[in-house]
A and B are shown apart, each in its own frame.
Chain A
Amino acid sequence: MKLDRRTFIELSVGFSLGAGAGIMLTPVNWKLMDDMTIWSQELWPRYQLGGLEGRLPQTGEVTHADSVCTLCPGGCGITVRKVKDRVTKIEGREGYPVNDGGICPLGVAGLQLLYGPWRVPSPLRRAGKRGSGKFERITWDEAINKVVQKLGDLRQRGQSHTVASILGSDRGTVPQLFGRFLSAYGSPNLIRTASAEDTYELALGLMQGATASVGYDLERANFILSFGSGLIEGWGSPVRVIKAHSIWRSGNSKDRATVVQIEPRLSNTAAKADNWYPVNPGTEAALALGLAHIIVKESLYDSAFVQNHTFGFEDWSDATGKTYMGFKRLVLTEYKPGAVSMTTGISVTKIVQLARAFAKAKRPLAVWGRGKGTTSGSLYECMAVHALNALVGNINQLGGVSTRPQVATRAWPAVSRDGTARKGSHRPRIDGAGTSRYPLTRYLPDRWPQAINGGRPGTIQALLVHEADPYFTTTDSAAVAKAFDGIPFVVSFSTYLDETAYHADLILPNHHYLERWEDIPTPVGLQKPILGLLRPVVSPQFDTRHVGDVLMTIAKELGGTVADAFPWEDYETVLKETMGDKWGTLEEEGYVEDAGYKPPAWRKAFGTPSGKFEFYITAFDQAGMKVDKDVGYLPHYEPVEAEGDSSTYPLTLIPAELIRLADGAIGNPPFCTKALEETELKGNDLFVEVNPKTAANYGLSEGRCAMLETPRGKAKVLVHLFEGIMPGVIAIPKGLGHAAYDDYLAGKGVNANSLMGVVEDPISGLSATWGIRAKLTRV
């Protein structure tokens, strides 16, 4: 047979048809089609289920362990769900006296902080330029040796006072270890990062003679007058306050609590309040005193308290017969509703109504601390608000305000100091706190950058940072960056590669809070003593060490009296010994509380020179402070002017704090960043809130790009039109603008602190900044 064209076609067509028919009768097509559907599922990331193998939580035995959250000063109890040794979920701990089962978004996202890519995996030494983010791994011995060498060298040269330490808190055994270390080493420079506590502690010290911060009986108050406090925005111990808020908002209209928000911006708290008074920013103290005027004038105050337990309400005269002005005369003459209305922008009728409603309420409570309470604030403003509480007699009362009590723990033996330590400790602090200029203030957390920048070189030779991110959180970022450049040796003990760690020379990573032991003293704003126990619920994921142990190793290697100050073997011994008889309960229950605690009665409550609640601050004279005659001794309105001149900067910029955006020492985790709205953050661009009227003046519309400029810096932002912000005021969310951390956070938005400056309170020296002048230009 000849293979001609016809045969070829017949053969090939025949074969092909046969092949086709044959293959159709085999499983090849059908099976492959089926397999292809499954195979193709893995081709696109969103369907890659199999690809997640190894990254998905493993299966296995589920266990739960209780601990405490340390991501903010709120100190909530948490229950950690684990599968084998892998933490899979963090929940609020049921029955915990702070949060009783509740948890905030940041607390839930703690898991991402545990396993996230921003953990510092081992001790690191800076390899490139400061801020280049280049580090190399070193061993623990090398890292500790470097610190010991540097500190030993400084001490030998009599420079021990040039070592400073910045901490997020000064309570609990770990901050105490830092304090003890500096004391034995010979430096006075222990600095606590800024918060409203700074000012509140001072105000309570002056008015009540207390050495503690404030505690509010929020749950039982039934008229809450908030001076800009973001009650459901993360103020105080966030879950506790939100739970109290639910109590206020429930019940029938007759006996449910009234919430009044005084704030220039319609925050969530303002939106949920019964009344919102958009006060001119920075004039809150004037409003408080205006309310006091009505309460005094109409005799609505608690006369039992005011007459018997206060000092300086009425005019008084001293032994020489000299007469001094009392608080009563001050408010009656200076804070008449008309004048207050002009200052604050709140109408006279509203001021009168609010004052009457507040004073006549069953359990009224005025709370203070802007936003989340992350800035220090003005002393007189704090005192003016606290004076309202005194007028209605709610000091140490049910639903009132008291000092924050602590669970008593065992004191440590005194430090025996050598000559260097004594000499160094008595040098003035770099931030100026406790000096003749600011004798009453303990820490001035916003003042150290200026001391370094303005002082002689070498003011600070070494900086140790623990549980704080001063590089990011301190007001006026440019000054902070410059100050950091002036510190030759920066050591961070951070668990995460935060801003400060990123600019440090050495990182000695602490265990994550789910990996370590620590005691958690009474959380911020609580009125009853609670001591929580942080305990390891998961084994350390990286080559990290407990900061307490590391600090003690450093001390021991420094030798001499510094080593002698730490007679303990390790941190766990410190903790157990300090907790004393509480340890058993702590270990078993996870916390110790004094449920029956009652604040002391009025007659025993005040440690002031007069033994009473002081409207007139006698402590000023005792401390040798120079204040204005009469009025300077009383809570009064002293305008804190926003920085910048109003012709160049016609607008006012204020920070806005959100519950979904962490703005403290912890970078916002991806879970929370994801929860930001498209009118807050879009891609990497941050929105600022602008009133449509203001926007119209500058030709800006929704989503338009604009240049925001303040005397301290400028940044490109997007405009979000919002009628809840006063015309002429712009609000910028706080907490973004990180350069450190990872792709989920770095490069997103603008750091509000980089646009703000420090306006010092004349008495305390703390930052009283509430905003800054700004301008907005279309780009």
Chain B
Amino acid sequence: MSTTEEKEQTVAQGEQEEEVPVEATPEPEKPGTWRFLIPIAAFGVGFLMHLFVGWVIFPPLLYSEKQQPIDFSHKIHEEAVDEGCESCHFFREDGSFSGIPGLENCAECHEEPMGEHREEAKLIKEYIEPGKEIPWYVYSRQPQCVFFSHAAHVKMGELECATCHGPIGDSDHTRPYQYNRLTKYSRDIYGWNIAMLSKNAWDYTEMDDSGGMKIEHPARMKMDDCAECHEEMRGVKDACFVCHK
């Protein structure tokens, strides 16, 4: 057989076969006018789904939340003491900072109940009576490799407490302590803005309706943030060992 015959035969056969399943593929001749939309649609779905995953589902998964052992009211205490923040958070004679007061400080007033508050009863029963230090979660706890001196910032740099800690002194409740599941560090350090676009950790917080502190402006206290302020205030870039002793 010649080649031409062969071809003709094949074409004929093909035509014959196509005629049978007409209903299954109605327009077999022009399959591509909209087909290009398939990958684009798939792209769009994948894109949007993962934007959703990344922005909405991921952040709460990354962080876990704990309640402070005692719902402490700075507001009540600030009204009761004479010297403001310094009454409990003071500098010692050698310049070191007392930080969060120990149980001893609490026991000075709360050895016996002063009122009938539920949290005070808890304080006395669970901590003061057994002599156990309160395991506060520290929102601003930096990693161990960081040297931070309050004296340098407050005494020499003349920063207000609220510049870094926000108006915590006015809060009526403690807010939940959020920490990164992976790194175990406080969310305050690595930033409330999941995109890490925020600047200015000291540009911090506002009070919410219930009197606890609400994070309004995304804030963080990462190395870059320290470095930026240091550069701004001191006019030069600091060396590593200023903070990493």
Contact = CB atoms under 8 A, between A and B. Distances in A.
B136 interface: no
Interface in B1-59: 35, 38-51, 53-55, 58-59
B102 interface: yes
27 contacts: A10-B42, A11-B38, A11-B39, A11-B42, A13-B39, A14-B38, A14-B40, A14-B43, A15-B42, A15-B46, A16-B46, A17-B43, A18-B43, A18-B45, A18-B46, A18-B47, A22-B54, A23-B51, A26-B58, A27-B196, A39-B183, A50-B184, A52-B144, A60-B102, A61-B92, A61-B98, A62-B96
A14 B58 contact: no
Contacts of B184: 50
Given A10-B38, A26-B58, A36-B182, A15 B43 contact: yes
A32 B184 CA distance: 13
B53 A23 contact: yes
A12 B182 contact: no
B145 interface: yes
Choose among A7, A10, A13, A18 the residue with the greatest number of B CB atoms under 10 Å from its CB: A18
Interface of B: 35, 38-51, 53-55, 58-59, 62, 92, 94, 96, 98-99, 102, 143-145, 180, 182-185, 190, 194-196
Interface string A46-74: 00011011001001111000000000000
Contact of B38 (A7, A19, A35, A39): A7
B143 A49 contact: yes
B46 A22 contact: yes
A18 B94 contact: no
Nearest to B180: A35
B194 A25 contact: no
A35 B190 CA distance: 9
B144 A50 contact: yes
Contact of A19 (B50, B58, B94): B50
Nearest to A61: B92
Interface in A344-394: none
Contacts of B58: 26-28, 31
Contact of A18 (B42, B145, B185): B42
B43 A21 contact: yes
Contact of B99 (A26, A32, A59): A59
B183 A62 contact: no
A14 B144 contact: no
A174 B189 CA distance: 55
Interface of A: 7, 10-23, 25-28, 30-32, 34-36, 38-39, 49-50, 52-53, 56, 59-62
Contacts of B54: 22-23, 25-28
A53 B38 contact: no
Choose among B40, B47, B185 the residue with the greatest number of A CB atoms under 10 Å from its CB: B47
A1 to B, nearest CB: 8
A22 B59 CA distance: 15
Contacts of B94: 62
A11 B44 CA distance: 11
Contacts, number: 112
Contacts of B98: 61
Chain A binding surface SS class:
helix
Q: For the complex of A and B, list the 5 residue pairs with the smallest distance between their C-beta atoms, beginning with the closest.
A: A26-B54, A18-B46, A14-B42, A22-B50, A14-B39
Contacts of B39: 10-11, 13-14, 17
B144 A56 contact: yes
Contact of B55 (A11, A17, A27, A36): A27
Contacts of B43: 14-15, 17-18, 21
B143 A26 contact: no
Given A13-B39, A18-B45, A19-B46, A27 B51 contact: no
Contacts of B40: 14
A611 B172 CA distance: 88
A32 B181 CA distance: 11
Nearest to B25: A2
Nearest to A48: B144
Contacts of B180: 35
Contacts of A31: 58, 62, 194, 196
B177 to A, nearest CB: 16
B46 A14 contact: yes
A126 B78 CA distance: 59
B151 to A, nearest CB: 13
Contact of B50 (A11, A12, A18, A61): A18
A30 B144 contact: no
Contacts of A39: 182-183
A32 B62 CA distance: 9
A567 to B, nearest CB: 37
A12 B41 CA distance: 11
A36 B181 CA distance: 11
Nearest to B24: A2
Nearest to A12: B42
A11 B40 CA distance: 8
Contacts of B196: 27, 30-31, 34
Contacts of B182: 32, 35-36, 38-39
Nearest to B50: A22
Contact of A34 (B41, B44, B190): B190
A26 B49 CA distance: 11
A779 to B, nearest CB: 48
A64 to B, nearest CB: 10
A693 to B, nearest CB: 50
A101 B158 CA distance: 37
Contacts of A56: 144
A769 to B, nearest CB: 50
A519 to B, nearest CB: 31
Given A27-B58, A60-B102, A62-B96, 20 more contacts: A10-B35, A10-B39, A10-B42, A11-B42, A14-B39, A14-B40, A18-B45, A19-B49, A20-B46, A20-B50, A21-B46, A27-B195, A28-B54, A30-B196, A38-B182, A38-B185, A39-B183, A52-B144, A56-B144, A62-B92
Nearest to A16: B46
Contact of A25 (B51, B59, B62, B185): B51
A50 B143 contact: yes
A632 B45 CA distance: 110
B192 to A, nearest CB: 12
A14 B47 CA distance: 9
A31 to B, nearest CB: 6
Nearest to A47: B145
B99 A22 contact: no
Nearest to A30: B196
Choose among B42, B48, B99, B194 the residue with the greatest number of A CB atoms under 10 Å from its CB: B42
Contact of B144 (A32, A35, A53, A62): A53
B183 A38 contact: yes
A53 to B, nearest CB: 7
Contacts of B185: 38
Choose among B54, B62, B145, B195 the residue with the greatest number of A CB atoms under 10 Å from its CB: B54
B183 A35 contact: yes
A31 B54 CA distance: 10
Contacts of B44: 18
Given A28-B54, A31-B62, A50-B184, A22 B48 contact: yes
A59 B133 CA distance: 14
A27 B51 CA distance: 9
Contact of A26 (B35, B46, B53, B183): B53
A22 B144 contact: no
Choose among B43, B45, B94 the residue with the greatest number of A CB atoms under 10 Å from its CB: B43
Contacts of A26: 50-51, 53-55, 58
Contacts of A28: 53-54, 58
Nearest to A59: B99
A197 B224 CA distance: 64
A22 B51 contact: yes
Contacts of B183: 35, 38-39
A227 B41 CA distance: 96
B33 to A, nearest CB: 13
Contacts of B144: 49-50, 52-53, 56
